[in-house]
Amino acid sequence: MAASPEDIGALIAVVFAGTSVLVLVKAWAKKIENQSRVPTARVESAERMERMERAIDSVAIEIERISENQRFLTKLLAERGEHAAAGALPRPDATRGNSP
C-alpha cells in the first residue's frame, strides 16, 4: 500500500503540531517551576526599603547643607584674605580704642 501525498502531508502536519505543543508545554512547565523558586517580596521588605529611602534622602540633604556651608566659609575666608592683603582690616589695637 502506497501512501498518498495527502496522507504524507497530514502526517507531517501532525508531527509538526505535536512537536510544537510539546515545546510549548515544556516551556510553560519550566516557567511554573522557576516561579516557585523566586522568593516573593514581603511587606516587611517594602517597609524597610521605604525607611531606607527616607534615611538616604535625609543624609543627602544634610550633605548638601554641609557643602553649602563649606562654600560660604571658603568665600568669606577668601574675601578676608583679600582685605588683609590690601590693609583694609583694622588693627586689633585700633578696635579697642586704646592708643599706645
Domain ranges of the chain: 41-86
Q: What is the pLDDT of residues 10-26, one digit of tens each?
A: 999 999 999 999 999 99
* Buried/exposed 57-82: b ≥16 CB within 10 Å, e otherwise: eeeeeeeeeeeeeeeeeeeeeeeeee
Q: What is the pLDDT of residues 61-81, one digit of tens each?
A: 999 999 999 999 999 998 888
Q: What is the per-residue pLDDT for 69?
A: 96
Q: Is this prediction's pTM over 0.75?
A: no
pLDDT band at 39 (very low <50, low <70, confident <90, very high): low
